[in-house]
Structure 1
Amino acid sequence: MRPLPEESQWQLLTEAGLHEDFQAMWIGSDDLDEIAARLGLDTTGAFECDLATALRWHGAGSHPSVFWFGPHAPGWTVVLMVAGGLPLFELPDGRVFTFRYLRATGEFHAVPGLYDAAGLDDLDLKDRHGDESDIDPHLVAVGRLTGRFVDRAWLAERRTLCRG
């Protein structure tokens, strides 16, 4: 794996339609049923779609809590809030990276679990609150630790869209 992605992670996500708050988790497990149950997701009526479709579906006035989740890399699941807020999710080994960027205030919340990880010294990771410019280095860090960066193929992959 390359140490840096070919394209800006945050720019790819915003180009895909993330123009509101950005809340996501990368969870060190690929047991989708367990993750859905622990998050309290309502998979009745869930369907598979890419990120652009998920964002359009929310824009059509859907349920206030909407999740798009599925495989990210071997052993890792991504959970992205399309609408609403992320619930608390923890694993005993701490392999959960939680992102929160609130566009209205321009505030990016630090990502617990990244700051002591090896191999990230070249990235400007702030372990406190920051702004939108702090998102991309943190996304790069998560990509390195999970073994996969966000790219155009990742954006096009079908994951499960459901209510919380």
Structure 2
Amino acid sequence: MTYGEQWALLSARGFDDMFAGTWIEGDDPDEIARILGSDPAAAVPCGLDEAMREYEPYAFKELVWLGEHAPGWTHAVTIAGPRPRTDLLAASGRRFVQVVWEPHGLGVHDLYYSDGVTAGRQSPVAIAEPGWPFHEYVEGLTRSRPGLIDVFTGGPAKPVGSLGLWLDNWLILAGRVSGRLIDERYLDATRRLYRIPI
């Protein structure tokens, strides 16, 4: 895998204005949707291209495209509105990681996580610090690289330089924790679009 490959797949599907992906322990998407406050009976089966017709970052509605990711894991991708509430997931005792890219805000957010017992946030500049629950998955991931050039344009953040490295680090870590990186087959699958009350 090369630097930027995970983000390139998501960017090609239209997530440039915001991406919030939440990898959640568990094989039952409806159960996870209920934890988030959704009514599974109202969910709509669809592919990602169809779901992206509803793509509306910062909307006053919350829609997630949610379904099986890897054995034992479900993935929720925010299509409209804010990222799913991690406090609800933490209260359920499930492991999860949540990656957020927001070019009109912080760029790369801290990683929101729970190991099933402890929930918290990890800064991308502290990825290599020992002692946080998912430290075992960071081999080869660093906060910086020799020769890495940061470009600050004053406009929306771009996933280049340190921001690009940090975003890809979080996406790779999420893949390692859940047992599967994002790939075209994942993005071409049919999952369900759930409405979550705000």
CA-to-partner distance for each residue in 1:40-92, whole Å, 9 max, x for gaps?
11334322112121111346xx9721111000000000011101112222142
Contact 2:22 2:75 in 1 (8 A): yes
Look up the match of 2:102: 102
User: Aligned match of 1:118 in 114, 136, 159?
Assistant: 136
TM (norm. structure 2) is 0.69
Counterpart secondary structure, 1:78: strand
Cα shift at 1:112: 3.8
Aligned equivalent of 2:10: 13
Q: Which 5+ residue runs of structure 2 have no aligned equivalent?
A: 114-121, 128-133, 145-161
Answering whether residue 21 of structure 2 is matched by residue 24 of structure 1, we say yes
Rounded Cα–Cα distance in structure 1 between residues aligned with 2:47 and 2:106 = 26
* Aligned counterpart in structure 2 of residue 141 of structure 1, from 148, 173, 195: 173
8 Å CA contact 1:17, 1:52 repeated in 2: no
The aligned residue for residue 155 of structure 1 is 187
Cα distance in 2, alignment partners of residues 122 and 100 from structure 1: 21
Which portions of structure 1, spanning 4 or more consecutive aligned residues, are displaced by more than 6 angstroms?
A: none
- Aligned letter for 1:87? R
Alignment: residue pair count:
155
Q: Which has the higher mean CA deviation after the structures are superposed, 72-81 or 39-48?
A: 39-48
- Describe the SS at the equivalent of 2:42: strand
1:44 to 1:84, Cα distance in 2 relative to 1, 3 A: same
User: Which residues of 2 match residues 20-99 of structure 1 at below 5 A?
Assistant: 20-58=17-55, 64-85=61-82, 86-88=84-86, 89-90=89-90, 91-92=92-93, 95-99=95-99
Question: 2:139 is matched by which residue type in structure 1?
Answer: D
RMSD: 2.6
Matched-pair contact (CA < 8 Å) for 1:67–1:83: yes
Q: Secondary structure at the match of 1:118?
A: helix
Distance in 1 separating the partners of 2:60 and 2:44 = 14
Q: Which has the larger displacement, 21-30 or 45-54?
A: 45-54
CA, structure 1 residues 42+63, in 2 after alignment: closer, same or farther (shift >3 Å)?
farther
Gap regions ≥5 residues in structure 1:
none
Q: SS at the partner of 2:75?
A: strand
- Per-residue CA shift, 1:103-147, capped at 9, x if unaligned? 212421121447543142211258xxx734421121111112211
Task: Give TM-score, length-normalised by structure 1.
Answer: 0.81
SS of match in other structure, 1:19: coil
